[in-house]
Structure 1
Amino acid sequence: MMSFARKYVRIVDAINYRVGRFSMYLLYVLMGILLWSSISNIIRQNAIWTLEMAQFTMVAYYMLGGPYSLQLDSNVRMDLLYGRWSDKKKAWVDAFSIFALIFYLGVLLYGAVDSTVYSLEYAERSATAWRPYISPIKIIMVIGIFLMLLQAFAIFFKDLAKARGEEL
C-alpha cells in the first residue's frame, strides 16, 4: 500500500508542480490583456474582448494554480488549537478533515462535468457583444478541480504516513 501511495504522491505532486508553475505565467498574460484594454481605450479603439478574456485568464490562473497552492500548504488555516498540537496529532486531524475537502471537490467536479457537457452539446456562448464560447474555460475548470481532487488524496496519503511516523 505504501509503495502505491508513494508512487501516487510523487506523480501527482510532479504534475501539479508543473501545471502550477505554468499557471503562474498566466498573470503576465492577464497583465498584457489589461494593458491592451487600457491602450485601446486611450486610442479610442473599442476592444470588446478584453474584459471577458481577462476574466477567463483569471479563472484559469486560480483553477490551475489551486492544486499547486494546496501542494505547498499555502492555504489559510484557523490556528486556534491546531498550532499547539504535536505533529502527529496535526497529521491525524488533517488526515480526517481532508475528507470534507474531498467530498466538496467531488460534488464540485460532478457539477462541473455536467455543466461542461451541456456547454459542449449546445455550443454555449456568453451573452455579451463578443459572444465567446464558454466550453474552453469550463474544460479548464474541470481539469483544475480534478487536479485539486488528486492533490487532496495525495495530501491524505502524506498525512496518513506522517501520523504513522513515516514520511512519503
Structure 2
Amino acid sequence: MQALLKLSSLIDALTERVGKAIIWLVLVVTLIAAGNAVMRYTLNYSSNAFLEIQWYLFSAIFLLGAGYTLMRNEHVRIDLIAGRMSRRGQAWIDIFGIIFFLLPMAVAVMYLSWPIFLLALNNNEQSSNAGGLAVWPVRLLVPIGFFLLVIQGVSELIKRFGFLQGLCPDPTAKGHKPTPEEELALAIKAQKGEL
C-alpha cells in the first residue's frame, strides 16, 4: 500500500502543477476578451480567431482542470445520504462512485475521443468560420483532459483505501485552501517579486 500511496502523491503533484498552470489561462482569456472588445469598439476591428481562442482556452480550463477539481474535493456532490454517514462510510461511497461511475465514464470518453482527434489532425480540420483556427488542438484537449481525470481518479481511490486502512489522513477533509482566485493573486504577486 505504501508504494500505491507514493504513486498517488506523484499523481497529485502532477495534477497540482497542471492546476496551477490552468489558473494563468483564466487571466489570458480575460485579457484576450478585453483586448478584443477594445479593438472592436475603438478600431472597429474584430476577428473570429479571437473568439475561437477564447473558446479553446475555456475548453482547456474546464477539461484540464477536472482532475485538479477532483483532487481538491471541489466537484459537485449530492450529500443527501453521504452527509449523514461517518467518514469511513463516505469513503466507501466515494470508492463505489469512482470504480463504477467516474472511471468507466472517463475511460470511455478518453477512448472514444482519440479517433476524433486523429481524424481532425489527419484532415487538418479547420474552423468553418472565416478567419477561424485549426480544430485539432482543441480536439486533443478531450482525451488529455480525461486522461488526467482518470489518473486523478486512481489517486483518489488509493487515498480512500489508505484512509480506510489508517495509512493516510482523510482525503475529503477540508482544510483552508486558497480559492483559485486567491491562488492567481498570490502567483501574480510572486511574479512581481521575481521581476
TM-score (norm 1): 0.94
- 2:110–2:144 contact (8 Å) kept in structure 1: no
Give the aligned partner of residue 140 of structure 2. Answer: 139
**Runs of 5+ consecutive residues of structure 1 not aligned to the other structure:** none
State the shift of 1:164 in Å. 2.6
- Do the aligned partners of 2:126 and 2:133 also contact (CA within 8 Å) in 1? yes
Greater CA drift, 134-143 or 18-27: 134-143
- Choose 27-36 or 136-145, whichever is displaced more: 136-145
Residue 163 of structure 1 deviates from its aligned partner by 2.2
State the aligned residue count. Answer: 167
What's the % identity of the aligned pairs? Answer: 26
**8 Å CA contact retained: 2:5, 2:162:** no
1:119 Cα shift?
A: 1.0
State the superposition RMSD in angstroms.
1.3
Pairs within 5 Å for 1:111-126: 111-126=112-127
SS in 2 for 1:94: helix
Tell me whether 129-138 or 53-62 shows the greater mean CA deviation.
Answer: 129-138
Structure 1 runs of 4+ with >6 Å offset? none
For 2:17 and 2:139, how far apart are their aligned partners in 1? 21
- In the other structure, the counterpart of 1:78 is 78
CA distance in 2, matches of 1:6, 1:45: 54
Deviation, structure 1 residue 27 = 0.7
> Given the alignment of the two structures, is residue 150 of structure 1 paired with residue 151 of structure 2, yes or no?
yes
Partner of 1:104: 105
1:30-87 Cα shifts (integer Å, max 9, x gaps): 0111111101111211323111111001001111111111100001111111111111
**Tell me, which stretches of 5 or more residues in structure 2 are unaligned?**
170-195
Q: Distance in 2 between matches of 1:129 and 1:145?
A: 30
What letter is aligned with 1:17? E
Contact 2:66 2:145 in 1 (8 A): yes
More displaced, 66-75 or 46-55? 46-55
Which residue number in structure 1 is paired with residue 28 of structure 2? Answer: 29
**Structure 1 position 144, deviation (Å):** 1.4
Bigger shift: 137-146 or 6-15? 137-146
CA contact (8 A) 2:48 2:132 kept: no
